[in-house]
Amino acid sequence: MSDVKSNMQAAVADGQPRAISGIEAMRGVGSAQAKGFWADAWDRVVARIGAKMALAWISVIAFFAVFAPVIANAHPLLRTNTATGAWDSPLWTNLTSVDLALLCAGIFALPWIFLPQKIAVKFGVAQRSTRLGLLLLLAIQAGATIIAAGGVSAWSRDQEAALWILSLAKMSSFPLISSLILGIVFAGVAVVAGSGTRSRGSTRLFLIALAAVIAVSASSARWTERLVNFDVYDEQQASGECTFIYAPIPFSPDFGRSDLYVLEPFTNIGEALPELKERGIGSRTMILGSDALGKDVLAQMLWACRLSISIGLLSTGIAVIIGVTLGALMGYFGGWVDLVLYRVVEIFMAIPVLFLLIVAAAVLPRNTYVMMAIIGCVSWTGAARFTRAEFYKLRKQDFVQGAQAAGLPLRSVLFRHMLPNGVTPVLVDASFAVAAAIIAEATLSYLGLGPDGQASWGKLLSSATGTTGTFVWWLAIFPGFAIFFTVLSYNMLGEAMRDAIDPKLRKAAH
C-alpha cells in the first residue's frame, strides 16, 4: 500500500496522469469521493438559473431584515455636543433586544456557515449540515430567551399583575436576574436537544453558552421600551447644540409628520416645504415618497422585510412540527389512530384558511408572535399528509423493524430512523408553505388585522387607496412588487428542490 501511495505522489509531483491496475481501482485509488444525497440535490438546485435568482432575492430580503435598523433609522448614528465634544449614539441606545440579537446573528452566521475546512475539522464541525443545524439550534435558543424575557417584562409592568411580581419588578437587578434565569433554562434545553448532533461536545457547549450570554445581555439591557421623540434631534441641530451623523436612510418606519403627507418619490423635503429648508430635516430626500401619515415608504419597505421573512419561516416551522408529529403517528400506527387523526386533518382542510385566519386575528392579540402561531396552526395539513404517506411506505422496511426489534423507544424509531428517510417531500412542501405564509400575512395586514406598530408590505398596499381616497401609485407598486417577487422566489426554489430530489422528474427533464 505504501508503494501505491508513493507512486501516486510521484505522478502528482510530475503533473502526469498514471495508469492504475484493477486491484488499485478496487481499492479506490484515484476515485473521487461521492457526494451525499443532500449535497448532490443542492448542487442540482443551484445549477438552475431560476433557483439562483430566487436565492439572490431571498438573500437581499434576509440582509435587510437583519440590518434594517442600521440602514434606515431616524435616530442619529452619532451625536456630538459642539460645546464639550462629548459624543453618543442614539441609534445604538434605541436598538431593541431583537435588533441586537439579529445583528449578532447576521455578523456570525455567514462566517460560521462558510468556515474553512481546516478550521471546521479542528473544531469538530467538518460538515456544513452540522454547522447549519447548530446555527438553527442557537437561533431557537436565543430567540426563545428574548421572547420569554419580553413576556416577563410586559407582565412585570402590568398594573393588574400579582403583587409579588410587581414588588420584584421594583428591584434594580430584576431585569438581569430574570434574563439570567431564562437564559440558563433555555441553554439547558439546548444542551439536551443538541446532544444528538454530530458536533464536538466542547464546541457545542461553548456556542450554547455564547448564545445565552448574547441573549441575556440583550434582554437585560433593553428590558423596557424607550420613549421616542425624533423632534429633539432637529431642535438640537437647528440651535447648533449638537451635530449629527445619520444612517444612510435617515428615516424610521414610525417616524412621521403630518406636513409630509403623500409626497412623491425623490421629493426633497426642503423643496416641498420651504419652511423646513433651514432645518436639518429639510436636506433629506424621500426616495420612495411618503404615505398618508407622512412616513417614509423606503424605510417601511426595508423594515417590513423582517416581518415578512420571520413570519414566513417561523410559522412554517410551527406548521412542519405539528404536521410531521401528527403525520408520523398516523403513518406509523395506522388503524384507529390514523382514522381519528385524519378526521382532524380533514376538518382543518374543510375550513377556508383565510376565514379562519381572519377570525383568529380579530379575536387574539395583534402582535407578531401571535400571528406566527395563528398561521402555523392552520397550515400544517400539507406536512401531515406528506409525512403520513411516507411513513406508510417506511413502516414495513427492514431498518424500521430492526429498530423495533432492538427495543428502541417510539421517539427514536419515529424521529431518528424513519423521519430522515421520509422528510424529503415535507421540505419541498415547506418552501411553498413559506410563500403561502407571506401571502397570508400580507392579506391580514391589508385588511387591517396585522401586527400593531409593525411595518408591513400589506399595510402599505392597503394605504394606496384606503386612507387617501385617491390612488397613490408608489404605495401600490413598490410593496406589491416586493410581495410578488418574494412569493415567486420561494415558489421557484421549491420547484427546483422538487425537481432535484424526485428522480422521476429529474429523468423526465433529460
- The DSSP secondary structure of 350-414, one letter per residue, reads HS-HHHHHHHHHHHS--SHHHHHHHHHHHS-HHHHHHHHHHHHHHTTSHHHHHHHHTT--HHHII
Please report the pLDDT score of residue 12 as a whole number.
Answer: 46
DSSP string, 54-102: HHHHHHHHHHHHHHHHHHB-SS-SEEEETTT--EE-HHHHT--HHHHHH
pLDDT per position in the chain (510 positions), as tens? 445 445 555 444 444 555 666 665 566 565 556 566 667 777 788 888 988 999 999 999 999 999 999 999 999 999 998 888 889 999 999 999 999 999 999 898 888 888 888 888 888 888 887 888 889 899 999 999 999 998 898 888 887 878 888 888 888 889 999 999 999 999 999 999 888 777 788 889 999 999 999 999 999 998 888 888 888 888 888 888 888 899 999 999 988 888 888 889 999 888 888 888 878 788 888 999 998 888 999 999 999 999 888 888 899 999 999 999 999 999 888 889 989 999 999 998 888 888 888 888 888 888 888 888 888 888 899 899 999 988 888 888 888 888 888 888 888 888 888 888 888 888 888 888 999 999 988 998 888 888 888 889 999 998 888 666 778 889 999 999 999 999 999 999 988 888 877 655 555 444
Distance between alpha carbon 198 and the CA centroid of its chain, in Å?
Answer: 24
In sequence order, the β-bridge partners of residue 290 are: 296
Please report the pLDDT score of residue 189 as a whole number.
Answer: 93
Our CA angle for 221, 227, 232, nearest 5°, is 115
Please report the pLDDT score of residue 377 as a whole number.
Answer: 87
Does residue 147 sit in helix, strand or coil?
A: helix
Question: Cα-flanking dihedrals φ and ψ of residue 494, to 5°?
Answer: -65, -40
Amino acid identity, position 8: M
At the fourth CATH level, the homologous superfamily of domain 301-509 is MetI-like (1.10.3720.10)
Nearest to 323 by CA among 412, 197, 419: 419
- DSSP letter assigned to residue 224: S
Please report the pLDDT score of residue 59 as a whole number.
Answer: 92
Domain boundaries, the chain: 95-221, 301-509
- With b meaning 16 or more CB within 10 Å and e meaning fewer, what string describes 40-67? ebbebbeebeebeebbebbeebbebbbb
